[in-house]
Structure 1
Amino acid sequence: MAKKENNARLGKGLSAIFGEDVSNVLEDIQQGKSEVHEDSKFEVDVKDVKPNPYQPRKHFDDDKIQELADSIKLHGVFTPILVKKAVKGYELITGERRLRASKLAGLKRIPAILMDFDDQQMMEIALLENIQREDLNAIEEAQGYEKLIKKLGYKQEELAHRIGKSREHVANMLRLLKLPASVQQHVVNNELSMGHVRALLSLKDPKLMEEVAQKAIQLHLSVRAVETLVKNMNEPKPEPVKKERDVNLDQVEKRLQSRFGTKVKIDEKQIVIKYHGNDDLNRVLEMIGGLDEEM
């Protein structure tokens, strides 16, 4: 298959491969199962290859990269990376683990295949390949969806159709981005599951989300336990029942106020008599017999 024929398969709008297995299509190209024009095969300086700007995957397992680097030191790189021409050097399309491991292994040049993709194709391929390989955590997947929506103007339903997911799945993933950054990091770290954070999203206060997330992690709460906790927090708290005042107390207050010539308040099992200055206090005390006769 000539280079143009190969690009046609991954052609304009990627219409030829949506509905197919994108990761297998790209893998066939890299492993030589899909014929590529010889002019497209070459060795590239690792320093000339920039990361894919649309790569949704942010977290790579350092131990696995090191294992791959050790293997490359012994056996070299068998599977070429895919690149596209950039203003300066090249941009990586797929093969970031191989590129990172090759640099770690001290290689200066690695095998590559030059492809002719535009930015839209690069963005969609990067997301689709990672989703199909299940290489993304939930937050990375959500961020990938958001980027496609913002950059390419997709509606949720259209995006769902193009990536082979339901609209509900896309909507639920995008909701994760409403979580506080600290809670999102717990998802990335596999400390909280999708079930946990779906329950947290029903809370309106980000601080409450963080508090419940911490509690769920510290106490190893199940999804059901977090759902119950959130439900209880969301239920309106009953207003305290006001105790009806005894109407007889009003009459007693009026009688005392009339007798002492000042304001009297009966409340909470106590009688409060207002006074104004020492003379007024002495007057009230004399009336209730509160002064010793010797004073």
Structure 2
Amino acid sequence: MSEDVSKRRLGRGLAALIGEMDQPLPAGDARPSINPDRTVPIEFVSRSPKNPRRYFDESELQDLAGSIRQHGIVQPVVVRTTSNDRYEIIAGERRWRAAQLAGLVDIPVIVRDVDDRTALELAIVENVQRADLNPLEEALGYDQLIAEHGYTQNDLGEIIGKSRSHVANSLRLLKLPEPVRDMLAEGSLSAGHARALVSTPDPVVLAKIITSKGMSVRDAEKLAQNHIKAQNAPPAAEHRDAKDSDTIALERSLTDRLGLSVAINHKGGAGQLKISYKTLDQLEEICRLLEAR
């Protein structure tokens, strides 16, 4: 697809764009041609390695397979040609997977011969429209369009019908370490929870606290802010020079685990452990942890 055609499609709206994928185009239209409702052997269709969607709920696939056994595939799978009689999925991998579970031999497809960039764009739009992507998959899809095809955040915002800030906030999730990204993909952390952790020194520890306590996004934001403040707070002047590296490392480790500022004053085998809190909730949490031990 030419750059001019691609640009004309920007901002046309998700519903219209998705509708085009399932409808034949008028004769003479300059956009990619569509052959609706062609039936092909299911083994001739393969998933796209660049499909932004990575996670498929097994129970939901089984439910869809049961429906397909009774009613067939209501909405064709959108594909593009890769070789003679071979096709790659642009949109509808979930239906294709469920059709295999249902034992279908043939499936209806809509053929849209587009380039790699447009295929990825349509896959992301289709999944975002149907809310099929988890926040991590969505961010990875945006990142792939930017890295491989030179899209700007403004372009992506127009394509998916969301603001540039939505795209920017989505991309920020990719800065999180792998364990937190896994929690995001599994659904134990929401995008709001995860965004609160992006700028913290140890998001893995905080993510575990958030999930174990079932914190709201607002509470997670407060926890993250307190953690950042605690990490940035300088040690007391009278003890700054006296502390060895092991003591400082232990302070940081305890601060990470508790999410609160911890100071250790150690000398001659004895000393003090100081835990600073700013709210009664934080004090109650300290007491709970001590009682649990």
C-alpha distance in structure 1 between counterparts of 2:62 and 2:15, whole Å: 23
Maintained 8 Å contact 1:21/1:132: no
Q: Does 2:18 align with 1:18?
A: no
CA spacing shift, 1:126–1:38, aligned 2, 3 Å: closer
Distance apart, 1:155 and its partner CA: 2.6
- Cα RMSD after superposing both structures: 2.9
Deviation (angstroms), 1:39? 6.1
Question: 1:200 maps to which residue?
Answer: 197
In structure 1, C-alpha distance between the alignment counterparts of 2:191 and 2:69, rounded to whole Å: 39
Query: What TM-score, normalized to structure 2?
Result: 0.69
Does residue 60 (structure 1) correspond to residue 35 (structure 2)? The answer is no
CA 1:61–1:47: 2 relative to 1, 3 Å:
same
1:174-207 CA distance string (max 9 Å, x none): 1100101111121222222223222211213xxx
**1:115 aligned to 2:112?**
yes
Q: Which residue of 2 aligns with 1:140?
A: 137
1:83 is aligned to 79
Task: Assess if the C-alpha contact under 8 Å between 1:40 and 1:115 holds in 2.
Answer: no
Structure 1 counterpart of 2:11, one-letter code: G
Q: In terms of mean alpha carbon deviation, does 192-201 or 11-20 score higher? A: 11-20
Q: Deviations along 1:230-259, whole A, 9 cap, x unmatched?
A: 22222233433539xxxxxxxxxxxxxxxx
Aligned to 1:212: 206
Say if 2:103 is the partner of 1:106: yes
Q: CA deviation at 1:47?
A: 0.9
Q: Is the 8 A contact 1:28 1:34 kept in 2?
A: yes
The answer for the alignment partner of 1:166 in structure 2 is 163
Q: Which SS does the other structure have where 2:122 is aligned?
A: helix
Q: CA offsets per residue over residues 75-95 of structure 1, 9 Å max, x none?
A: 222332222110361111222
Deviation for aligned residue 1:33: 7.5
Report deviation, 1:158: 3.2
Moved more, 172-181 or 182-191: 182-191
Is contact 2:35-2:112 (8 Å) kept? Answer: no
Q: Deviations over 1:156-175 (max 9, x none)?
A: 23333333332222111111
Q: Distance in 1 between matches of 2:102 and 2:155?
A: 42
2:221 maps to amino acid: E
**Secondary structure, in 3 states, of the residue corresponding to 2:54?**
coil
Structure 1 residue 222, shift from structure 2 partner:
2.6
Q: Which of residues 67, 73, 87 in structure 2 aligns to 1:71?
A: 67
> For the structure 1 residues 222 and 241, does the alpha-carbon distance in structure 2 shift closer, same or farther, using more than 3 Å as the test?
same
Tell me the amino acid that sits aligned with residue 213 of structure 2: L
In the alignment, structure 1 residue 232 sits paired with structure 2 residue 229: no
Give the TM-score normalised by the residue count of structure 1: 0.69
Q: Is 2:41–2:106's contact at 8 Å kept on the other side of the alignment?
A: yes
Aligned-partner SS, 2:83: coil
Unaligned stretches of 5+ residues in structure 1: 1-6, 244-266, 269-295
In 2, Cα distance between the equivalents of 1:49 and 1:40? 16
Secondary structure in structure 2 of the residue aligned to 1:229: helix
Matches of 1:240 and 1:29, distance apart in 2: 64
Q: Percent identity?
A: 38
Q: Distance in 2 between matches of 1:52 and 1:19?
A: 25
In the comparison of the two structures, how many residue pairs are matched?
Answer: 233
Q: Give SS of 1:234's match.
A: helix
SS in structure 1 opposite 2:109? strand
Question: Whose strand proportion is higher, 1 or 2?
Answer: 2
CA distance in 1, matches of 2:224, 2:131: 30
Q: Please tell me the residue identity of whatever aligns with 1:20.
A: R
Corresponding residue number in structure 2 for 1:178: 175
Q: Which has the larger radius of gyration?
A: 1
